[in-house]
Amino acid sequence: MAKFASLWQAPQVNPINKKARSIPFFNPVSNVYGRVFFFSWFGFMIAFWSWYAFPPLLADVIAGDLGMKPYQVANSNIIALTATLIVRLIAGPCCDRFGPRITFAGCLLAGAVPTFLAGAVFNASGLYALRFFIGILGGSFVPCQVWTTGFFDKNVVGTANALTGGLGNLGGGITYFVMPAVYNALRKDGLPKHKAWRVSFIVPGILIVFVALCLLLLCPDTPTGKWEDRFASAEENLRRHSVGGVVDIPGHIGDAPPASSEKGTESDAGKDHGWKDSEAHATDTTMLETARGEVIQKPSFSEMMHVIISPQTLVTAACYFCTFGAELAINSILGNYYMKNFPKLGLQHTGNWAAMFGLLNGVTRPLGGFISDFAYRRTNSVWAKKAVLHTYGILTGVFLIAIGVLDSKNQSTMFGLVAGMAVFLEGGNGADFGLVPHVHPYANGIVSGFTGAAGNFGGIIFAIIFRYNGKDYGKVFWIIGVMTIGINLAVSWIRPIPKGQIGGR
């Protein structure tokens, strides 16, 4: 009963870093942790909805109105992913420098402008430009994850990140229901086709601006207050709880954490504060040094590159390249794949079944993060999270190969295989961002941004493969499956966190 109560009660807070040790999912009003959690996932969901608002109407309504050919439709999907890749690379360092809340709101407001301008498009070139700038909204995933990481402690951060990402990704499924519904409602009100689809984009535009204002007015940057005050707040908390005195926090992200000046006494090790991680029964001194190593630093270019090219960052990026990259590419063609194999279903029903793939994110991605956290708590090792990540990746590859090889014309078989694939593909996204907070935690924005961008890069590569294979969707599925298994095996031997790293353990 206590576990269920934690879904709405004020969470226990780690007094060193002020991060919550549970997720008050149903308390977005009176509790700041619940409020930040809510706007993290809801803001990303609205952004994802608008980012993917074109595909449900593109092939049938918009392409017909603009006189677009199939290859131009495919090009527009690739352009949208390219923009998001660039924005995610920029958003990561921005989160570390300006804070995730400001970066999040900035992405939303910048993406709202082209959303409102959808009605100004009258040819394929205009659509390319518009979808490029709407791609800014996809970059909001990075501050969403960094913001959540800053408010929830290591025992639940994987679950928190997976929930905000998974619920946010629901926007990719919701758009298949909402955009056609808004369009059809406008048609019934008498608007012609060429006006109805344009006016329908006003709805997500208004919601994006509303959520951005809520982020700015109702939520803090960090659990301790303003982003620029995080160093002073960290020093104060460390001083209040320090046993052996305060050691200066490193000024740069490349600095090594300070060595312990003294070993914890027997009484230190025996203290039960109630906030120590069950996965890390450490001395007070060690816990304080760990907290110092996790304070996010302002990055320089050389320090940023040091983090990006580290093997540990490349692991999370490579795995996200496979899972989220495949999800993005599959989202864009799944309705067409179903229409090819099951033409009797019609446009509406194939769209509904395609939407299920995105909607499963509400369960599958959080499950991946939960299993990652569970394995971590049970084994006291970050290696467990890495093992979960690669297990998800390999099983994803197996299902992708099965779908591609069978290319089933039986609805039950096809829908069942896609659902099974979604469990592991989308769950792998959650498991990936369960590991990300442990990798270079003093540069979480950079790691999150590079990993997120790698997912978009995967989406571009896979979308290009789909483009040049026409309607041979099954072939592309098994190609992606083979790539996913190969990449996971290639990086499985790399340590989950750098040798000698203090924070993140």
**Own/partner pairs for 58-67, CB < 8 Å, 24+ apart?**
59/335, 59/336, 60/347, 61/183, 61/193, 61/197, 62/127, 62/197, 64/193, 65/193, 65/194, 65/197, 66/121, 66/122, 66/123, 66/124, 66/127, 67/123, 67/124
Cβ count within 10 A of residue 199: 15
pTM, rounded to two decimals: 0.82
Question: Which residues make Cβ contacts (< 8 Å) with residue 377, sequence separation at least 6?
Answer: 155, 278, 279
Find the helix or strand (DSSP H, E) in which 474 lies. Answer: helix 473-491
SS3 content of the chain, % helix, strand, coil (to 5): 75, 0, 25
pLDDT of residue 78: 83
Q: Which residues of 23-35 are buried (b: 16+ CB within 10 A; e: fewer)?
A: bbbebbeebbbbb
Instruction: With beta carbons less than 8 A apart as the criterion, state whether 328 and 455 touch.
Output: yes
Cβ pair 258, 247 in contact under 8 A: yes
CA 454 to chain centre: 11
| Phi, psi of 245, rounded to the nearest 5 degrees | 95, 165
Using H for helix, E for strand and C for coil, what is the string for 335-382?
HHHHHHHCHHHHHHHHHHHHHHHHHCHHHHHHHHHHHHHHHHHHHCCH
Give the whole-angstrom CA distance, residue 156 versus residue 152. Answer: 6
Close Cβ partners of 229 (under 8 Å, ≥ 6 residues apart): none
Mean pLDDT by 10 residues, the chain (505 residues): 74 86 90 95 93 83 88 84 91 93 96 93 93 93 94 91 91 82 90 91 94 95 87 70 46 38 36 41 53 67 90 97 93 87 84 85 93 92 96 98 96 96 96 94 92 94 90 95 98 90 66
DSSP code, position 227: G
Tell me if 95 sits within 8 A of 449, measured CB to CB.
yes
Q: Which residues contact 352 (CB under 8 A, 6 or more apart)?
A: 176, 177
Burial status of residue 9 (CB atoms within 10 A of its CB: 0-12, 13-18, 19 or more): middle
d(CA 87, CA 493): 30
Neighbours of 217 (CB within 10 A): 8
Question: DSSP string spanning 42-110?
Answer: HHHHHHHHHHTSSHHHIIIIIHHHHT--HHHHHHHHHHHHHHHHHHHHHHHHHHHHH-HHHHHHHHHHH
Give the model's pLDDT for residue 288: 55
pLDDT of residue 324: 93
Distance (Å, whole) CA 141 – CA 84: 10
* One-letter amino acid of 401: I
Cα→Cα distances 28→35, 164, 222, 501, Å:
4, 13, 16, 35
Domain 16-225+303-491 has CATH 3.30.470.30: no
Q: Where are the alpha helices (DSSP H) in 201-261?
A: 202-218, 230-241
The domain segmentation of the chain, as residue ranges, is 16-225+303-491
Please identify which residue in the block is written with the tokens 């290696």. Answer: 383
Place of tokens 């979808």: 131
